[in-house]
Amino acid sequence: MDKSNIEHNSQNIYYRSTVGAAEAGSNMRLGIRINTDEVVRQVLLHTWSESTGEKWSNMTTQDKNNTKEKFYSTEISMPENGGLIWYYFIIVTAERTYYYGNNPEQLGGIGELYFDYAPPAYQITVYRRGAKTPDWFKHAVMYQIFPDRFYRAGNEIIEKPGAVYHASWKDEPAYYKDPDTNEIIAYDFYGGNLKGIESKLDYLKDFGISAIYFNPVFESESNHHYDTGDYHKIDPILGTNEDFKHLVDTAKAKGINIIIDGVFSHTGSNSIYFNRNGQYNSLGAYQSKDSPYFDWYSFRNYPNDYESWWNFSTLPNAPVIQTGALFFVEHTGLEPATF
């Protein structure tokens, strides 16, 4: 079977009745077009979600004629709670079994034919029933900012353990890795800060920007700040909690909304909550089962074997986190959804 003779397009309503995210409890029709001289014995939709595990659904066709091109489809129900569903197709013919999944870049849209089990899967994002996005967001012109790489106000450089500062904004980014373990031992920084961003708000407004999307700004070891150390504290290298509040208020007055990439499904291994290296004055989950944060994490073999984001040991999964959302309320007076 040639790959051009089989197609599913996750961005086309013909193949997927809900393009994009789907509401919890709703139904979705998924279809795949197969054009082959081979005898198709069975077409299955394989789905997986954290709440339901693996499922196999039989796909059927309404094409009763003898043409070799047929469209197979099935309908699945979204779970009652939000989350992610992953899917791909299994085509069993008289000659062999084929698999059709996401393209190698995993960008969605038209996929790829594979000959090995478990190809890259398509994703369905399931949002909670009745959820409504802010109206201002629907017509916003958004600008994404990686705070460390945008602009620095003032010449002060905040000392940070393990940080390597670039002397010039034109320097190429660099990784500093342990040659034996290949783990990152230091992160590079350019020195951008919140005050620098605030000083450029008029510049952004002149562009027509009405929303700024920040990469995470909470305290952490890295320059990308996805390995959160403390959700209640802006990373000092970027500024203070007061700087953040002032930035939000100033942007709002200029008609610019602020969105923060708050990652609350995992923390840093070196954090108040996990504290693998004992850098914080807290009883972390890695240090003791009596830690108030122990139930946040899933240990397979305590303490060194634990679930983590894409198996990066520096990013232990912690899907029950609530404290990050509290930051927004306590330090801005705004609910997260109103930014």
From the list 85, 90, 83, 84, the residue with the least C-alpha distance to 118 is 90
Q: Can you give the pLDDT at residue 337?
A: 44
| d(C-alpha 167, C-alpha 164), whole Å | 10
Q: Can you give the pLDDT at residue 339?
A: 37
State the SS3 of 141-160.
Answer: CEEEECHHHCCCCCCCCCCC
Q: Can you give the pLDDT at residue 132?
A: 84
Q: Can you give the pLDDT at residue 195?
A: 96
Tell me phi and psi for residue 136, to 5 degrees: -65, -30
Local structure of residue 119 (DSSP, 8 states) = P
| d(C-alpha 85, C-alpha 50), whole Å | 8
| Residue whose token pair is 């698999």 | 99
Cα torsion for 218, 222, 223, 225, to the nearest 10°?
-30
Q: Is the peptide bond before 119 cis (omega within 30 degrees of 0)?
A: no
CB under 8 Å to 50, separation ≥6 — which residues?
A: 83, 84
Q: Can you give the pLDDT at residue 331?
A: 55
From the list 277, 193, 208, 197, the residue with the least C-alpha distance to 240 is 193
Q: Can you give the pLDDT at residue 326?
A: 55
Cα torsion for 101, 306, 237, 249, to the nearest 10°?
70
Give burial (CB, 10 Å; 0-12/13-18/19+) of 140: middle
CB under 8 Å to 252, separation ≥6 — which residues?
A: 258
Q: Look up residue 159 and give its two tokens.
A: 């000392």
* Sign for the pseudo-dihedral over CA of 8, 14, 17, 19: positive
Mean pLDDT by 10 residues, the chain (339 residues): 86 96 96 93 95 93 81 95 94 94 95 92 94 86 96 86 90 89 88 96 96 94 93 93 94 93 89 95 96 94 94 88 57 49
HSE (CB half, 13 Å, CA atoms) of 60? 3
Q: Which three-class secondary structure state does DSSP give residue 107?
A: coil
| d(C-alpha 249, C-alpha 241), whole Å | 12
pLDDT, tens digit, for every residue of 279-317?
999 999 999 999 999 999 999 999 999 999 988 899 999
Write the DSSP assignment of 54-73 as a string of letters: EEEEE-EE---SS-SEEEEE
Q: How many CB atoms lie under 10 A from the CB of residue 67?
A: 8
